[in-house]
Amino acid sequence: MAPAASRIARAFPGLATAAATRSAPSSFSPRLALHPRLRSARSFYSSVARASSGGGTVSGSSTSEEDQRLQSELIFLGTGTSEGIPRVSCLTHPTKTCPVCTKAAEPGNPNRRRNTSILLRHATPSGTTNIVVDAGKFFYHSALQWFPTFGLRTIDGVIITHSHADAIGGFDCLRDWTNNVQSSIPIYVVERDYEVMKMTHYYLIDTSVVIPGAAVSALQFNIIKEEPFMVHNLEVIPLPVWHGQGYRSLGFRFGDVCYISDVSDIPEETYKLLENCELLIMDALRPDRSSSTHFGLPRALEEVRKIKPKKTLFTGMMHLMDHEKVNSDLANLMETEGLDIQLSYDGLRIPVLLIDDFGVSVVPPAVK
């Protein structure tokens, strides 16, 4: 039998970039490789498909429809700050022009950013589940754009990083799904953030206070701890970090994908959970310095050098981070240090290949 890497290479000989009506940023093309993993999953990254406002597709020159149904994907629903990009204050300023917000006001521009959030479309032979990380204030706007574009409909679970508004402010909007698509949505959250939700979204937790006949989001709250847990047969490993002094937030690891959206410091014990990271998605707020609650670009780069992932995508960028300019600067690091780093953008779609919780490889058969 051929080695696993060879079988995967034959099964996925190439994934085409989707047609786009907007100017495309630097392309994302991770290396073909299989690396040691932290528990039971591996990931394979073959290319990126970028969707236009009219929709996009991922296609292979010799893959069957069955193969594509088994292709898991990670989709960036949002890559911006809590206030989003562009800022109203910038667009209405009487004397100053903000170059990034001006660009972001253009439809399809990669500088347009909503609250940080990803969706993992986990495909297995038994079916596909859509797992969301964070549903913040702009979640419904993100869903309006990207769910139709990528053929998404259900939300099979929402995992929460922390209890700020840019992570949970969209809970009320989940009613569209629980009223019209599915009966309920499981929420995975640590106890400390659940206690906050009892105040911010009390009516979604204690539904006895809801006026009879009113339709609110039907949510099933599952309390997790800072240890591995399962979401629809997918193992999720929490990555505890600090998001400001004394404020705990979580990143998450899915196989060899590590996602840390809100971080000001990484505890020493968390670095062990980041070993052999293939794709690191990490907070990088601004180009010049860190804030009290977020990594800036200099600190984020220091962490990349320490963690040593194969590929890094930054997220959570404010309006000082011009997509084209910063990506151009980051491209130089490949030449000088061999660091493969780019900014992510809303609508970025990355095909990934996972192994289920039983250790069974979900690898589509090679087309003969």
pLDDT at 353: 67
Q: Average per-residue pLDDT in the chain?
A: 83
The answer to whether the pTM exceeds 0.85 is no
- 243 CB contacts (<8 Å, ≥6 apart)? 162, 249, 262, 263, 264, 293, 294
Helix, strand, or coil (residue 299): helix
Mean pLDDT of the region 285-299: 98
Residue 359 has pLDDT above 50, yes or no: no
Cα distances from 219 to residues 175, 182, 203, in angstroms, run 9, 11, 11
pLDDT at 69: 56
Mean pLDDT of the region 291-297: 98
| 112-139 tens-digit pLDDT | 999 999 999 998 888 899 999 999 999 9
Which domains are delineated in the chain?
A: 66-96+109-351 (3.60.15.10)
> Helix/strand/coil (H, E, C) string of 309-322?
CCEEEEECECCCCC
The CA-based dihedral angle spanning residues 193, 198, 203, 204, taken in that order and rounded to the nearest 10 degrees: 30
pLDDT at 354: 67
- 162 contacts 262 by C-beta, under 8 angstroms: yes
pLDDT at 71: 83
In the chain, the amino acid numbered 259 is Y
| 81-109 tens-digit pLDDT | 999 999 999 999 999 999 999 999 999 99
Residue 275 has pLDDT above 60, yes or no: yes
Give the helix ranges, DSSP H, for the chain: 4-11, 65-69, 88-91, 99-104, 139-150, 165-168, 175-180, 191-200, 202-205, 268-271, 297-307, 323-336
| 212-260 tens-digit pLDDT | 989 999 999 999 999 999 999 999 999 999 999 999 999 999 999 999 9
Helix, strand, or coil (residue 50): strand
> How far apart are the C-alpha atoms of 275 and 253, rounded to whole Å?
11
What percentage of the chain exceeds 70 in pLDDT?
77
Mean pLDDT of the region 300-319: 98
- 106 CB contacts (<8 Å, ≥6 apart)? 112
Lowest mean per-residue pLDDT among 23-32, 64-73, 83-92, 309-318 = 23-32
Answer with the residue of higher pLDDT: 29 or 283. Answer: 283
Residue 368 has pLDDT above 70, yes or no: no
> How far apart are the C-alpha atoms of 5 and 362, rounded to whole Å?
13
